[in-house]
Structure 1
Amino acid sequence: MKKTMTKALISGLAIAGTAAILAGCGAAPTTTASSGGSADVAAGFKPCLISDDGGWNDKSFNQSAKAGMDKAADELGVKSLELESTSENDYAPNMQQAVSEGCSLIISVGYKLAAATVEAATANPTLEFAIIDDYADVDQDGKTDAPNIKPLVFDTAQAAYLGGYAAAAWSAKDGVNKVGTFGGIQIPSVAVFMDGFQMGVEKYNTDKGANVQVFGWDTATQSGSFTGGFAANDTAKQTAQGVLDQGVDVILPVGGPIYQSAAAAIADSGKNTVMIGVDSDLAVADSSVADITLVSIMKALDVAVHDTTMSAAKGQFDVTPYVGTLKNDGVKLSSFHDFESKLPSGLTDELSALQEKIVSGEITVTSPNSPKAQ
């Protein structure tokens, strides 16, 4: 989806609680020692995190962000405020609560909170904000809409390229030569996985003279299979089934909890299809699907949240966008876990070589959905 379509969706989430947020304006803390915590933590520092509607137990996006916040709060010796959203109607009230309860740093988990984040940041210029997977550019002028918001974004296409190559190798090994993917909502942070995945498959085909097909996504036309949300529901299961019906033996569900629907569809099919996880190491995050999770395409959400919180606590908050790449370990491929011994011979060495070439710039992984410089 083009950026304009993404931002149109964001603007549809406009906030009704403007007056309340404005009333909650607070001052940034001064940098002095805090009681009971690290000696260089700003006095009164209070980090806060707001989830999107996937909730803290999504085994993926939100849960990883929460782990990063929990780790930072523990190391700093401070108490964080973590507000869970169960629907889009919770974004404005949660943002209002974060401001009114004296949060020094407010991190929003996901593009859906962009409008709420921009409005609160504009109304509270002395507070510090960060947002995951979005530049908070609601007015679509190519710039973050408030000077106190730090974007935390990820060039996931690079890691997904490795995942696509691995998927193609797995499928070719069995003579199936068909892999697939589907997403939640068609936004850049979802489609970037699918772009990289397809490009990795194409790289495998070029290198091996193979003909592994990709179903569920076409990078050239930017069209494919989407559920319209991130909930693990019947729609997501039916979408997964539609891809599985193409005969794929590897499927990449992109969108937090929708992996659960993919797993259910795989179980119903009775076939030996395997799945690729996203964001977190899915085989570890949810042991119930470890036996069908080939590998995961990971984003270091926890590290980005942790490091941003630590910097803000020490008065070193910087709004320069963080962009996770293979080079800085912001994105990466997980272990293959129990599948390690079943992989095609030489695959892990091939993946390591590909990663080195991407990091060095010898291979350029370019996705229309990769984060753009601001």
Structure 2
Amino acid sequence: MRISTRKTTLGGLAALGVVALLAGCAPAPETGGASGGSSDSGKPAASDFLPCMVSDAGGFDDKSFNQLGLEGLTAAADKIGVKPITVQSSSDTDYAPNISNLVDQGCNLIVTVGFNLAAATKDAAAANPDVNFAIIDDSSIDAPNVKSLVFDTAQSAFLGGYAAASYSKTGVVGTFGGLPIPPVTIFMDGFVDGVKYFNEQKGKNVVVKGWDVASQNGTFTGGFEAGTDAKQAAQGLIDQNADVIMPVGGPIYKSAAEAVRDADKGIVLIGVDADVTQTDPDNADLFLTSVMKGIKPGVEDVTNAAAAGNFDKAPYVGTLENGGVALAPFHDYESKVDPGLAGELDKIKAGIIDGSIKVESPSSPK
């Protein structure tokens, strides 16, 4: 297991702050459709439009954000009536050549999945101004042909942290990540702050292992692949008596699930990106809930809009208010959580939306 001790100049930021949405952000995507992305007949423009996608190293079968991106692209392509081209990356050295390959195949829109593809996306967009790009989980590229799809998951993870603290029997919960990058640490920040808010409201002292918000230091596996490092990271939290664990980083949760089953102590997991109870039925019994972001409808929306000639660079920021982030249902654990928890979470969500509960991470979209 590798431990990262990344620090940020915003270390020491108060656990609760103000969420600021981007001025002029695109509206929330409509599941199954596009805002302004239809022809006069009500159907998306079609025929010669070619949508494409490059995964990050997690692959399209990660049961998480790569899979959700692919589902969004496929849904839009089916509606438009075209066949998309998708390319899976095995490592970071694949990103630039995979994008170049899609440009050479005549793709009109290339969706790149993940923060780690930012440099390759920026270079390709500059070299190919007639090709439109959309990138998930990065907002650093300022170009007329690049649209960012980013998500303030600190908000939904705050709800997840509160739920974790409420459910915990040991008074210890934990989280660990794949890499110390903003799309990962934003989940961890929100989770820790949600636990802190629970403690303040309930007079409790639930402890979080694996991440410190103030110093921005914590436990990371060094990548997004399932394997020994991820299992050891989860085991380290189990050894510290954590009975609710949130792995942040695509397939690494699969290794955490192995550690949980081996421990056989009634430990539960919290998923990220997708509702993992639904995307991975084989492990559904382990998930208390999931901290979700609307990658599928976001990708579907930008693809439909681009097909109709309505592509724009205005970033989309998913929040609790516009439905771009959310906490999944408790599914099989509905009868096992505190009877008042759902109502408490509804009130907290409303408070975050109206600003009376301040939630911010150093990694929140600005």
**Same fold flag (TM > 0.5):** yes
Structure number with the higher helix fraction is 1
Cα distance in 1 between the residues matched to 2:38 and 2:226: 46
> What displacement does 1:127 show?
1.2
Cα distance in 2 between the residues matched to 1:355 and 1:112: 30
Specify the SS of the correspondent of 1:345. Answer: coil
> What displacement does 1:214 show?
0.4
- 2:149 counterpart (147, 152, 173): 152
- 2:58 counterpart (54, 58, 62): 54
Specify the SS of the correspondent of 1:319. Answer: coil
1:274-285 pair list within 5 angstroms:
274-285=268-279
Cα distance in 1 between the residues matched to 2:45 and 2:164: 45
1:356 aligns with 2:316: no
CA contact (8 A) 2:156 2:320 kept: yes
Instruction: In structure 2, give the amino acid aligned to 1:73.
Output: A
1:95 aligns with 2:92: no
Look up the match of 1:261: 255
Structure 1 unaligned blocks of 5 or more: 5-30, 138-143
Structure 2 unaligned blocks of 5 or more: 1-5, 10-36
Cα distance in 2 between the residues matched to 1:309 and 1:3: 35
CA contact (8 A) 1:182 1:224 kept: yes
Question: 292-301 or 87-96: which moved more?
Answer: 87-96
1:307 aligns with 2:307: no
Instruction: In structure 2, give the amino acid aligned to 1:87.
Output: S
Cα distance in 2 between the residues matched to 1:234 and 1:213: 25
Distance 1:40 1:55, change over 3 A: closer
Look up the match of 2:227: 233
> What displacement does 1:147 show?
2.5
CA contact (8 A) 2:291 2:328 kept: yes
Q: TM-score, normalised by structure 1?
A: 0.86
> What displacement does 1:270 show?
2.1
> What displacement does 1:42 show?
5.6
Cα distance in 1 between the residues matched to 2:192 and 2:44: 46
Instruction: In structure 1, give the amino acid aligned to 2:86.
Output: E
Cα distance in 1 between the residues matched to 2:125 and 2:80: 24
Look up the match of 1:129: 133
1:164 aligns with 2:161: yes
Specify the SS of the correspondent of 2:363. Answer: coil
Distance 1:239 1:80, change over 3 A: same
Cα distance in 1 between the residues matched to 2:134 and 2:299: 9
> What displacement does 1:93 show?
2.0
Cα distance in 2 between the residues matched to 1:366 and 1:92: 33
1:47-86 pair list within 5 angstroms:
47-86=51-90
Cα distance in 2 between the residues matched to 1:100 and 1:237: 40
Distance 1:104 1:2, change over 3 A: farther
Cα distance in 2 between the residues matched to 1:3 and 1:322: 25
Question: 40-49 or 221-230: which moved more?
Answer: 40-49
Distance 1:42 1:122, change over 3 A: farther
Distance 1:3 1:216, change over 3 A: closer
Cα distance in 1 between the residues matched to 2:150 and 2:8: 15
**Larger RCO (CA under 8 A, 6+ residues apart):** 2
Look up the match of 2:15: none
Look up the match of 2:24: none
Query: Alpha carbon RMSD of aligned pairs, Å?
Result: 1.9
Number of aligned residues: 334
Distance 1:221 1:59, change over 3 A: same
- Off by >4 Å, runs of 4+ in structure 1: 1-4, 37-40
Instruction: In structure 2, give the amino acid aligned to 1:264.
Output: E
Cα distance in 2 between the residues matched to 1:59 and 1:2: 30
Look up the match of 1:200: 194
Specify the SS of the correspondent of 2:334. Answer: helix
- 1:334 counterpart (328, 331, 336): 328
Cα distance in 2 between the residues matched to 1:292 and 1:223: 27
1:287 aligns with 2:281: yes
Q: TM-score, normalised by structure 2?
A: 0.88
Specify the SS of the correspondent of 1:214. Answer: strand
> What displacement does 1:145 show?
4.3
Cα distance in 2 between the residues matched to 1:3 and 1:309: 35
Instruction: In structure 1, give the amino acid aligned to 2:156.
Output: A
Cα distance in 1 between the residues matched to 2:211 and 2:336: 27
Instruction: In structure 1, give the amino acid aligned to 2:191.
Output: F
Instruction: In structure 1, give the amino acid aligned to 2:76.
Output: A
CA contact (8 A) 2:46 2:80 kept: no
